[in-house]
Amino acid sequence: MKFGGIVTATITPLSSPRQIDADRLAHHCNVLFAEGCSFVSTFGTTGEGASFSADQKIDTLKKLKEHGLEMSRFIPAIMTSSFADAGKMLAAYHALGCAAALVLPPFFYTDISDEGVIDYFEAMLDVAENPEIPLLLYNIPRYSGTHFTPKLVEKLVIRFGPQIVGIKDSTGNLENGLTLVKCFPNLSIFTGNDRVMPPLVAAGGAGMIGGMPNLFASDLVKLFSSIGDSSTTDLLEKAAKRIEIVDSNGGLNVLKAAVAHRYRDNSWCQVAPPLEQISKSAFDMLLPLLEVPTLAQHLDPSHFNASTKVTT
């Protein structure tokens, strides 16, 4: 199975610093799909996935399904060193009908061998009772400590066969992504970086799974669908500028504040411990540089969920 397109690694709205707001997340996902995203990936790095329990994530996805969202367009992440929790989430994602799971390798322990990573995947699948749900490998060694090298990916593909369907390469390194595309033409190779996406897709890559579509999905969908077109130069320049501003000023807390500004709803600013919310003064300095798009009337989130109030 080949995946592709713009996949939003969605932020996670909170009703308090410790509770996920499923209502707001539901209407945000609806906005993202209306703006052209192929899939949504919940509870990854941008979704503060390491901060929430397995039960919180599963319960939230169940509520999203109750809201009428198509779970076949969800690729929730698994970010835990506990193979038991990983298996619990994987079984739930499969039961809910999710398209795939984005799996981070176990972290905390250093210098994990390839065989250790394979053992973790085997344990996760065993706990989940071996569901036939596609798996994408989450390559972000900066946080996980494990690099999905071509050698390791090959071992995983040999061991788990077609259940391994792709890789999200969040190294930000184009050459690394191109190497994966060349070595694994049958896998969907995504980047997490807007600037890397065009040349990666031109070489056979699948697209991007990243945080910036939370704000700029329409632009990135246009960029993806017009790879190689010289008319996209302006879009690419804007994408590069935006990601530089966000990444160099705190990352996630800037992104959440910008979404709060777009929705006119300060609840979106909240982050889970141990992260800290950006100050209003700091964000006010960045806002003119980001050029946050306004919502078209037909994309107003209040139209998707009457129970969620958007303040003005």
pLDDT band at 1 (very low <50, low <70, confident <90, very high): low
CA–CA distance, 122 with 124 (Å, rounded to integer): 5
Q: Is the pLDDT of residue 186 over 60?
A: yes
Q: What is the pLDDT of residue 188?
A: 98
Domains of the chain by residue range:
5-230
What are the E-state strand segments in 28-153? 39-41, 77-78, 101-103, 135-139
Q: Which of 195, 193, 192, 190 is nearest to 205 (CA)?
A: 190
Distance CA 131, CA 119 (A): 17
Which residues, other chains included, contact 175 with Cβ-Cβ below 8 Å and sequence gap of 6+?
Answer: none
Phi, psi torsion values for 203, nearest 5 degrees: -90, 0
Does residue 185 register a pLDDT over 60?
yes
Comparing 2-16, 90-104, 285-299, the range with the smallest average pLDDT is: 285-299
Residue with tokens 């932020």: 11
Residues 6+ apart with CB under 8 A from 273: 17, 18, 51
pTM (2 d.p.):
0.93
Tokens of 122: 């085997």
Determine what percent of the chain is predicted with pLDDT higher than 70: 94
| Rg over CA atoms, the chain | 18
CATH number of 5-230, picked from 3.40.1350.10, 1.10.3720.10, 3.20.20.70, 3.30.310.50: 3.20.20.70
Task: Report the pLDDT averaged over residues 146-171.
Answer: 97
Task: Determine the average pLDDT of the residues in 58-86.
Answer: 98
SS3 6: strand
Q: What is the mean pLDDT of residues 219-233?
A: 84
CA dihedral of 94, 95, 96, 101, whole degrees rounded to 10: -10
User: At residue 262, does pLDDT exceed 90?
Assistant: yes
Q: Which of 82-91, 197-206, 239-248 has the lowest mean pLDDT?
A: 239-248
- In sequence order, the β-bridge partners of residue 138 are 168
What is the pLDDT at residue 299? 61
